[in-house]
């Protein structure tokens, strides 16, 4: 069973942050990583691409993935999202 994801209100400097949004009726994702005190970002991507990047980077770095989802776009098929 996959490790659950954790919902947060803002990017977390100690994790890989997946920020969900909607554009033209499609769900998009933006991956944010902290390097020291500054965040770098992929910019908005199709959700499958953003999710894949987040999982890859988290696995490579042994990091947790947290999710910013203010519009409740998360789908249960993506995994468990804990509050």
Tens digits of residue pLDDT in 3-47: 789 999 999 999 999 999 998 999 999 999 987 667 888 889 999
Whether the per-residue pLDDT at 55 is higher than 90: the answer is yes
pLDDT of residue 76: 92
Q: 81 has which bridge partners?
A: 5
Return all residues near 58 (Cβ < 8 A) that are at least 6 apart. 15, 16, 64, 65
Check whether 1 has a pLDDT greater than 80. Answer: no
Question: What's the pLDDT at 2?
Answer: 63
Residue 60 lies in a domain: yes
pTM score of the predicted model: 0.91
How many structural domains is the chain composed of? 1
Q: Find all residues with CB under 8 Å of 6, minimum gap 6, and list them.
A: 64, 65, 66, 67, 81, 82
Domain that holds residue 45: 5-71
> Which CATH number is 50's domain given?
3.10.20
As given in the structure block, the two tokens for residue 76 are: 């249960």
- Residue 82, domain member (yes or no): no
For residue 37, give both structure tokens: 């005190």
């Amino acid at each position: 069973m996959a490790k659950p994801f954790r919902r947060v209100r803002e990017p977390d400097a100690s994790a890989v942050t997946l920020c969900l949004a909607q554009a033209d009726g499609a769900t998009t994702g933006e991956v944010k990583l902290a390097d020291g005190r500054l965040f770098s970002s992929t910019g908005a991507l199709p959700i499958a691409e953003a999710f894949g990047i987040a999982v890859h980077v988290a696995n490579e770095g042994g990091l947790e993935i947290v999710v910013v989802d203010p519009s409740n776009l998360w789908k249960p098929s993506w995994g468990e999202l804990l509050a």
